[in-house]
DNA sequence: CTTGACGGCTAATCCGAATTAGCTTATAAT
DNA sequence: ATTATAAGCTAATTCGGATTAGCCGTCAAG
């Protein structure tokens, strides 16, 4: 990885731990293994580093049209998978979603950074909103919608069902971001949530 | 309100908007209507102002043993209210909870500040966890548990039911904190959530 | 070969923001 | 009346951290 990119990487790590204002260009340089003034050969100033991180993230986001597409397949193909689904595979889906969000290094650091910086300006608030509200809900709505169409789930209000699916996942995610030690506990809760979700919305029980 | 307390008040406002590091003692002083050096007659330094806010908050928290007790009554008395409950009064409960969290000025500012500062140290992470995870879930578990006992709701897993009740409320709250303009939309979603929740867990439908 | 751009370094510089010094006024207690 | 204390002010002071200046080696293109 070239220096220019390593700067972004280390900066993101630091920003996600302490927030932009509490990270010194010195810290970043040190981690990269160069001296602070050398940073300026690559970026105009500290703010430019931050901006570049946001840009990079926007690019990734464009490319895969949503980090939620875990399988790296396009949504219409995913559909096949959900045709013959049962409780267990549904639980797997939720868990994988959660674990992806939780462990994917880039995603995790970016989310934490955004959590800290979201109130700084409208644009950042918007990015957060897109990443952790609009996108997940709309993508999952599509998937769960397919499952409704397949008769695996049943509801007359897919968006709200999706909210019921996603909101607990999101909440548990924030818990783990704050206290990584609670991951196991969260995973247990997550599983109970998914099982209950299936009981509530699943057709198989009736 | 005396100066000493006004400092905390204005500081909290600023911290909740920009985060501790981006607020200058000057800003605080200006809002209070004094000069920066005068702040030091009341607090040892900037950090002491922050700490005092956390302390004050911990006190409030002790006093009312949980901000969730909206009615200002003790929980056992609240129980009476939930004895004869129907869908509508349940929706009111959820809405009031949401609106209290959203509009109570102190609560709101404190929550936003904590959102920004939660990764700064373990203690803050802990305060956040207590305020927006443990406390709400345990208090609401108790209330919803009562409703189960009363036959208004039905489940074999009260904690998870509570998660299903609370997580969407929390998610919508974060949305509104980020973009206050979406409050109306969030309120609509909230209502749908609660209606659906009642359908899923309510006994009246069966 | 030589030149220019790239990326690194050290040594300033600059600047803004926290804090301290020291003076003043008001008020409350002796 | 006197004095101590509280609470404010202006004018430094300090200090840390971002940024700039200016130098040097490397290496690829001509």
Which DSSP string do the residues of chain B spell out, in sequence order?
--HHHHHHHHHHHHHHHH-GGG--HHHHHHHHTS-HHHHTTT-SSHHHHHHHHHHHHHHHHHHTT-TT-TTSS-HHHHHHHTTS--HHHHHHHHHHHHHHHHH-HHHHHHHHHHHHHTTT-HHHHHHHHIIIIIHHHHHHHHHHHHHHHTTSB--S-HHHHHHHHHHHHHHHHHHHHH-GGGHHHHHHHHHHHHHHHHHHHBSTT-
User: Is the CB of residue A119 less than 8 Å away from at least one CB of chain B?
Assistant: yes
CA angle (A13, A15, A16) in 5-degree steps: 65
Mean pLDDT of A128-142: 95
Which residue among B21, B157, B193 sits closest to A21, beta carbon to beta carbon? Answer: B21
How high is the pLDDT of residue A68? 46
Interval B167-201: pLDDT, tens: 999 999 999 999 999 999 999 999 999 999 999 99
To the nearest whole angstrom, how far is the Cα of B100 from the nearest Cα of chain A? 19
Which residue among A115, A171, A192 sits closest to B157, beta carbon to beta carbon? Answer: A192
Q: What confidence category does residue A37 fall into, taking pLDDT thresholds of 50, 70 and 90? A: very high
How high is the pLDDT of residue B72? 45
Q: What confidence category does residue B73 fall into, taking pLDDT thresholds of 50, 70 and 90? A: very low
How high is the pLDDT of residue B67? 44
Buried b (16+ CB within 10 A) or exposed e, A43-74: beebeebbebbbebbeeebeeeebbbebeeee
More confident residue, B147 or B75: B147
* pLDDT of A135 over the 90 cut: yes
* pLDDT of A205 over the 70 cut: no
User: Is the CB of residue B179 less than 8 Å away from at least one CB of chain A?
Assistant: yes
More confident residue, B151 or A175: A175
Q: Which of B43, B38, B13 is nearest to B26 (CA)?
A: B38
Please list every residue in chain B whose beta carbon sits closer than 8 Å to the beta carbon of residue A159: 192
Which residue among B157, B170, B193 sits closest to A160, beta carbon to beta carbon? Answer: B193
Residue nearest to nucleotide D18 (CA to C1'): A25
A 125-164: CB under 8 A from B: 125-126, 128-129, 133, 155, 157, 159-161, 163-164
User: Is the CB of residue B205 less than 8 Å away from at least one CB of chain A?
Assistant: no
Tokens coding A54: 């946001």
How high is the pLDDT of residue B62? 80
Mean pLDDT of B24-29: 98
* Residue A32 zone, left/alpha/beta (φ > 0; ψ -120 to 50; rest): alpha
User: Is the CB of residue B120 less than 8 Å away from at least one CB of chain A?
Assistant: yes
Q: Output Rg (C-alpha) for chain B, integer angstroms.
A: 20
B47 burial (CB, 10 Å; 0-12 / 13-18 / 19+) is exposed
Query: If you count residue pairs, one on A and one on B, with CB atoms under 8 Å apart, how many are there?
Result: 108
User: Is the CB of residue A196 less than 8 Å away from at least one CB of chain B?
Assistant: yes
More confident residue, A77 or B122: B122
Mean pLDDT of chain B: 90
Strand D proximity list, CB < 7 Å: A 23-26, 36-37, 40, 44-47; B 2-4, 29, 34-35, 37-38, 41-42
Using a pLDDT cut of 90, give the percent of chain B over it. 77
* pLDDT of A66 over the 90 cut: no
Q: Are A160 and B192 an interchain contact pair (Cβ–Cβ within 8 Å)?
A: yes
- pTM comes to 0.93
Nearest CA in chain B to A177: B119
How high is the pLDDT of residue A76? 54
* pLDDT of B121 over the 60 cut: yes
Interval A80-98: pLDDT, tens: 565 567 777 788 889 999 9
Mean pLDDT of B26-44: 98
User: Is the CB of residue B84 less than 8 Å away from at least one CB of chain A?
Assistant: no
Which residue among B18, B170, B200 sits closest to A200, beta carbon to beta carbon? Answer: B200
Using a pLDDT cut of 70, give the percent of chain A over it. 88
Separation of alpha carbons B159 and B141, rounded Å:
6
- Asked whether residue B164, judged by its CB, lies under 7 Å from any atom of the DNA or RNA strand C, the reply is no
More confident residue, B151 or B13: B13
Mean pLDDT of A144-171: 95
Write A57-65 long-range contacts (CB < 8 A, 24+): A57/A110, A57/A127, A58/A127, A60/A106, A61/A130, A61/A131
Question: What DSSP designation does A21 have?
Answer: G
Domains and CATH numbers, chain A: 1-50 (1.10.10.60), 68-200 (no CATH)
Mean pLDDT of B148-160: 93
Interval A44-64: pLDDT, tens: 999 999 999 999 999 988 876
How high is the pLDDT of residue B107? 95
Q: Are B168 and A165 in contact (CB under 8 A)?
A: no
How high is the pLDDT of residue A82? 57
How high is the pLDDT of residue B68? 47
To the nearest whole angstrom, how far is the Cα of A111 from the nearest Cα of chain B? 12
How high is the pLDDT of residue B78? 58
- Asked whether residue B34, judged by its CB, lies under 7 Å from any atom of the DNA or RNA strand C, the reply is no
How high is the pLDDT of residue A87? 75
User: Is the CB of residue A175 less than 8 Å away from at least one CB of chain B?
Assistant: yes
* pLDDT of A30 over the 60 cut: yes
Interval A163-201: pLDDT, tens: 999 999 999 999 999 999 999 999 999 999 999 999 999
Mean pLDDT of chain A: 90
């Amino acid at each position: 990885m070239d220096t220019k990119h390593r700067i972004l990487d280390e900066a993101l790590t630091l920003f996600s731990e302490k927030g932009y204002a509490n990270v010194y260009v010195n810290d970043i340089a040190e981690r990269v293994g160069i001296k602070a003034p050398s940073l300026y050969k690559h970026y105009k100033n500290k703010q430019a580093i931050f901006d570049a991180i946001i840009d990079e993230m926007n690019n990734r986001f464009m490319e895969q049209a949503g980090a939620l597409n875990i399988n790296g397949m396009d949504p219409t193909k995913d559909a096949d998978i959900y045709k013959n689904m049962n409780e267990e595979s549904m639980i797997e889906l939720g868990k994988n979603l959660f674990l992806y969000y939780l462990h994917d290094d880039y995603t995790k650091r970016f989310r934490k950074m955004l959590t800290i910086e979201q109130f700084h300006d409208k644009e950042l608030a918007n990015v957060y909103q897109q990443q952790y509200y609009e996108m997940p809900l709309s993508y999952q709505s599509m998937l769960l919608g397919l499952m409704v169409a397949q008769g695996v789930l049943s509801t007359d209000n897919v968006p709200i069902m999706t909210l019921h699916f996603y909101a607990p996942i999101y909440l548990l995610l924030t818990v783990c971001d704050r206290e990584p030690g609670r991951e196991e506990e969260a995973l247990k809760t997550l599983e109970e949530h998914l099982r209950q979700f299936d009981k509530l919305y699943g057709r198989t029980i009736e």
